[in-house]
Amino acid sequence: MTDPSILDTLRQEFTNNTLGPDDRLAALKMMLRIRRFETRAKELFLQGVIKGTAHSSVGQEAIAAGACAVLEPRDFVLTHHRGHGHTIAKGADLGRMFAELMGREAGYCAGLGGSMHIADFENGILGANGIVGAGMGLGTGAALAEQLDGTVAIGITFFGDGAANEGMFHEAMNLAAIWKLPLIFFCENNQYGLTTATEAVTAGATIAGRADAYGVPNERVDGNDLAAIHAAVTRAALRARAGDGPTLIEALTYRWDDHSMRANLPAYRSEEEEEAWKSRDPIIRLGADMAARSELDDTRYSALTEAAEAEIEAAIDWAKSQSEPEMEGAMALVSAPRPPLQAAPPATGNREITYAQAITEAFAQEMARDKDVILLGEDIGKTGGIFGLTRGLFEEFGPNRVRDTPISEGAIATCGVGAAMRGKRVVVEAQLWDFVTLMMDAIVNQAAKARFMLGGKAKVPIVFRGPQGAGIRLAAQHCQSLETFFANVPGLEIYAPSSAYDAKGLMAAAIRHDGPVVFLEHKLLYLGKAQPVPEDSYALEPGRARIVREGTDCTVVATLAMVERAVLAAEKLAGEGISVEVIDPRTIKPLDIDTIADSVRKTNRAVVVHEAPLFGGFGGEIASAITESAFDWLDAPVARIGAPEMPVPYNDRLERQYMPDARRIAEAVKSVCYRR
């Protein structure tokens, strides 16, 4: 734990000449509002009015007031679970904040996000966040959007000392440094991560000093000294607005309360330590400084305190009077509405291009159509990526929009989400789909939940794409089929085109969608023959299955590379007198169960095939949906085919045996057709 005496040394490095009397008065009012908000929130929690949990920032008010006073209306902040002070200082309405903490529909997030997810996009508050360190990655994306738009707006991403040990700290710092993003990294070092002292888990002399490795200017300041905070942020803001890139500020402070209002932990701090820090109360220190300048007396201070208390009580009364959300309204906020198709999709025509070329063409046409479309990924620039899907786009649209990134999947993905929340339409490439596991927080916790968690305010138009599947001997960590990971995450759409025509039209639809899309491409499809694809730009409606081949005896539902194998099986079985209908869902979510069920009602039998392992595979969901929708028409149980319960083997013979093939599909069809 930092010795409070160190702060005396730090304080001598700053002067108070950056703040005038009006600035100090405004800051004192803000700090009193924040303090009263937090103390009353705790009381309401103990009374059961506020449920769940909340995290108090009592003792840290100077940071919020001093830092946010530097910001302009267009500037943004991203904060963390202990973010009430930052959001209040950036202009959040107290009544709506209390309403959110009480779970009321009038709250900032419609009562669906709670204390850890307050957001107010109109005031540049892009959201508090319950995932430690996530705001740093999101902040790089928001800052990138401002940089691309040339707005001269900047942002602050607040995080705690514990987050400085997350990989995101280093990934985001590196990204911000190489791109010179207008972002201030602000570490509130309040001495403890939950109950563990910072010094016990943090290597190096200071957190601020870690920025030296990235060539980022940094400083360590007294976090309870308003003037020191204001001066440090002013310097950092000037650098950022001038295009000189990020700054890291570490502010030494202390939270007076426990980690959260819900905590019931044994004592882990001594009374002597707590009292030493409370004697440095930032509000008392500012008041004493103003009194010494003849700017404040006891009467005026009492009046300011009473005004803050009255404002808080009025906000509480208003929040209590608001209604709670209903399930129907909450469900409407899960996913962004899809834009209507501008025209019916064109016929395939006679021109032929490959699956990979079709995706590249979709990128080019959507980037020409909308200047806000940008691509992020490793090695996607001049070389066009390892599979060549972005080849030529760097030369056509430039390095700002076709942006090579570090090998830093977590930062790439969260940067993409932050940029999408700030107005860009982002396509993020996972160089190989297995690497998406390093992007899971951005996809599952941030992109998928943002619209719902932030009360429907957030648009997150982002596509996460990459090549999955086996067949080219890249072994267990480069060949997985992972669609089931995402199918159970509300807020995500999952597209899985098997033809060049579908790949182009669905990619256009994905980019135009205002919500996150997971776009699956199969490596074997990249290597397939050219197919008819129209030159004109077009989008396909998600949730519309394709009848690849008509039949009357059995329905086979297949995805991605399995579609071609299902067709081969159907052709073989036709010679044996069995007529097979092949259905390609095209999109896994939304799933067109109506087309599938209609087919089963005609054929009375069904086989579902996918490349992923059978157990827990998405085929089980399709089989269940068939049973629910067409049980009375089934003459045999639904059969499922998938990979064995093993990682993808490297040996080419074993890899071929691992993947479902036309022979296995045909055998499954026979098993349901000949079942008595």
What is the set of active-site residues? 409, 478
Q: Are 373 and 427 in contact (CB under 8 A)?
A: yes
Six-digit token string for 152:
């001269």
Six-digit token string for 179:
């791109």
Cα 634 to Cα 637: distance, rounded to the nearest angstrom: 7
Q: Are 482 and 436 in contact (CB under 8 A)?
A: yes
Cα 165 to Cα 187: distance, rounded to the nearest angstrom: 11
Cα 237 to Cα 71: distance, rounded to the nearest angstrom: 8
> Which residue from 450, 455, 468 is spatially nearest to 414, judged by alpha carbons?
450
**Which residue intervals of 165-264 are DSSP H helices?**
167-179, 198-201, 226-241
Six-digit token string for 419:
């940029």
Q: Are 462 and 417 in contact (CB under 8 A)?
A: yes
Kindly state the DSSP code that residue 404 receives in the 8-state scheme.
Answer: E
Cα 116 to Cα 276: distance, rounded to the nearest angstrom: 29
> Which residue from 108, 65, 338, 30 is spatially nearest to 224, judged by alpha carbons?
65
Per the listing, tokens 């100090």 go with 24
Q: Are 381 and 404 in contact (CB under 8 A)?
A: yes
Cα 513 to Cα 543: distance, rounded to the nearest angstrom: 13
Cα 158 to Cα 354: distance, rounded to the nearest angstrom: 46
CA–centroid distance for 486 within its chain:
13
Kindly state the DSSP code that residue 436 receives in the 8-state scheme.
Answer: G
CA–centroid distance for 19 within its chain:
37
Instruction: Say what the alpha-carbon torsion angle 26, 29, 34, 38 is, to the nearest 10 degrees.
Output: 170
**Which residue intervals of 391-547 are DSSP H helices?**
393-397, 409-421, 440, 448-453, 483-487, 500-512, 523-526
Q: Are 419 and 393 in contact (CB under 8 A)?
A: no
Six-digit token string for 210:
């870690």
Q: Could you please report the per-residue DSSP string of 364-389? A: HHHHHH-TTEEEEETT-STT--TT-T
Cα 51 to Cα 114: distance, rounded to the nearest angstrom: 9
Q: At what angle do helices 134-149 and 409-421 cross, to 10 degrees?
A: 60
The helix (H) or strand (E) run that includes residue 185 is strand 183-189
Question: What is the pairing mode between strands 580-584 and 554-558?
Answer: parallel
Q: Could you please report the per-residue DSSP string of 4-66? A: THHHHHHHTT--STT--HHHHHHHHHHHHHHHHHHHHHHHHHHTTSS-S-----TT-HHHHHH
Q: Are 228 and 199 in contact (CB under 8 A)?
A: no
C-alpha R_g of the chain: 28
Q: Are 456 and 333 in contact (CB under 8 A)?
A: yes
Q: How many CB atoms lie within 10 A of CB 25?
A: 17
Q: How many CB atoms lie within 10 A of CB 237?
A: 21
Cα 316 to Cα 598: distance, rounded to the nearest angstrom: 54
| AA identity, residue 555 | T
